[in-house]
Amino acid sequence: MSNQKIFLEPIIKNNPITVQVLGICSSLAVTSQLKPSLVMAVSVTVIIALSNVIVSLIRSWIPKNVRMIVEMTVIATMVILVDQFLRAFMFDVSKQLSVFVGLIITNCIVLGRLEGFALHNPVAPSLFDGLGNGIGYGLVLVIIGFFRELLGSGKFLGAQVIPDGLYDAGYVDNGLLMLAPGAFFLLGLIVWLQRSVTGQYEED
């Protein structure tokens, strides 16, 4: 499989959220506004890519019986590094994401890519696989974050976009979208839309 295909596949066709149904928790939790969704998308992409590269580099030395522990150590190290960098250089965003940066450790996509790909593949394809999966994950987050912020609080990246006149005329922000179930509905719609376009069905 070419690097290009490895990179593009997880973005739509084999999207980690909408097709593999991984990483649902954080896609519901951090998407109430667009900005944290974006930062989360970038953070997860960086972490998957770096962890993939590192595990791929040392893959021939990793003893099979302790491979999970090695993978988790690599992920945890990367996550803490990203968290520390955010706190030093993007303090406002790190405040907004709060606990969810740390929780990237538990994001199944990261461990899934290490187990499923980086452990058996050379460095370059692992890098592309990591980037592709991160972007596939991030894309869904950004779409959900965009609609939740727009419909839930009438804003785009923190700036009000729904005109005051509309509120005066009786328009009300949809409070459901600020809650996790609202994100779940949106996610369902995205999965529906994607599958009706690609024609993909789960096997019985």
Partner 1 sequence: MQDKKFYSFIFISIIALVSAGLLSFAVMFLRPLQERNEAVEKKKNILLAVGLVYENNTPGPDEILQMFEGAIEPIVVNQLGEKVESGLNVEKINPELEENKPPDQQCLPLFLQKEKGQVVSYCLPVFGKGLWSTIYGYLALEKDRNTIKGITFYKNGETPGLGAEITQTWFTGNFRGKQIFDNTGNLVSVRVVKGKVDPASPGLIHEVDGISGATKTCEGINSFLLKDLAKYQVFLQKQRD
- Chain residues that interact with partner 1, rule: CB under 8 A: 29-30, 32-33, 36, 61-63, 65-66, 69-70, 73-74, 76-77, 80-81, 84-85, 87-89, 91, 95-100, 148, 152, 175, 178-179
Nearest to partner 1 of 168, 202 (CB atom): 168
DSSP states of 9-77 as a string?
TTTTTT-TTTTT--SHHHHHHSTTSHHHHHHHHHHHHHHHHHHHHHHHHTTTTS-GGGHHHHHHHHHHH
In 3D space, the residue among 190, 85, 198 whose CA is nearest the CA of residue 139 turns out to be: 190
Q: How far is the CB of 98 from partner 1 (least distance, A)?
A: 5
**Residue closer to partner 1 (CB basis): 6 or 97:** 97
Q: Which CB, 80 or 150, lies closer to partner 1?
A: 80
The answer to whether the beta carbons of residues 40 and 142 sit under 8 Å apart is no
Least distance (Å) between residue 181 CB and partner 1:
11
Q: What minimum distance in Å lies between the beta carbon of 157 and partner 1?
A: 12
Q: Which is nearer to partner 1, 67 or 195 (CB)?
A: 67
Least distance between partner 1 and beta carbon 153 (Å): 9
Which residues touch 52 (CB under 8 Å, ≥6 apart)? 113, 114, 117, 118, 126, 127, 129, 130
